[in-house]
Structure 1
């Protein structure tokens, strides 16, 4: 590849990855076209972008960016994935696809970058066990609403007891 072509490809990669702060890298070399197309469709349905790049060109394009550490120590052709609702959701989907060896056997999570720090394969799997943004919001709402519900129950409890006693007394007089 000539120097001019490399510069054009690098500029295009830089433009496409502009604004991407967190990404996961995977290897998917050797997958046939039909399987790759199915994989891309499945990822697109979850708002995840996938781009297969040459490792050295990706390093040149991301030099100085927050996702540059994702390409350190990698070799050959690599796919970069970014997007989804949040980074944890992206990682969960990548690890799920990595485990689905029957369908996507050659799809293997290699690493990534989060907040400017490089991630290895083990770190990616550890992040997949974190709660996603949606799960964190539901836990936060439970913590916010929990004390109010307890207070409400404590305040209404004696009133309900008094109400039931008055009702019993009223039913006893009718007979």
Structure 2
């Protein structure tokens, strides 16, 4: 590949990854075209993009960005997955597909980058166990509303008991 072509490919990779802060690197080596196409379709349903790139060109294209650490020590062609609702959702989907030995046996999560820090394969699997954005919001709302509902119950309990006693007295059932 000539130097000019490498520069063009590098520029294209930079455009594709513009604005991307977090990504997961996967290996798709050995997958046939039909399976890869099916995989891309499944990822696209979750708003996840994937493209295969030569690691040396990706390293050159991501130089000086938060994604640069992901390609340190990478060898051979790698597929870059990015997008989704949030990074944890992206990782959960990638790990789910990695575990699907029947359909995508050649799909393997190798690592990634989160907030500028490199993740290895075990790190990616650890992040997949975290709650995603929606789950975190529901936990937070539960924590915010919990004390209020406990206070409301504590205030309403004695009032209801007093109300029932007044009702009994007014009916003459002393």
Deviation at 1:105, TM superposition (A): 0.4
Q: In the aligned structure 2, how far is the partner of 1:134 from the partner of 1:60?
A: 35
Distance 2:49 2:172 in 1: 72
Alignment TM-score, normalising by the size of structure 2: 0.96
> Residue 2 of structure 1 corresponds to which residue in structure 2?
2
TM-score, normalized by length of structure 1? 0.95
Q: Mapping of 1:82-121 within 5 angstroms?
A: 82-121=82-121
Aligned to 1:80: 80
**DSSP 3-state at the match of 2:65:** coil
Are 2:127 and 1:127 equivalent residues in the alignment? yes
1:64-119 per-position Cα deviation (integer Å, ceiling 9, x unaligned): 11011111111111100011111111111111110011110000000001111111
* Residue equivalent to 2:70: 70
Output the CA distance in 1 between the equivalents of 2:164 and 2:48: 57
2-side partners of 1:108 and 1:170: how far apart? Answer: 75
Does the alignment pair 1:30 with 2:30? yes
1:55 and 2:19 equivalent?
A: no
Deviation, 1:156, is 0.5
Partner of 2:80: helix, strand, or coil?
Answer: strand
Structure 2 unaligned regions, length at least 5: none
Tell me the matched-pair count.
173
Alignment RMSD, CA only?
Answer: 1.1
Query: Unaligned stretches of 5+ in structure 1?
Result: none
CA drift of 1:49 comes to 0.8
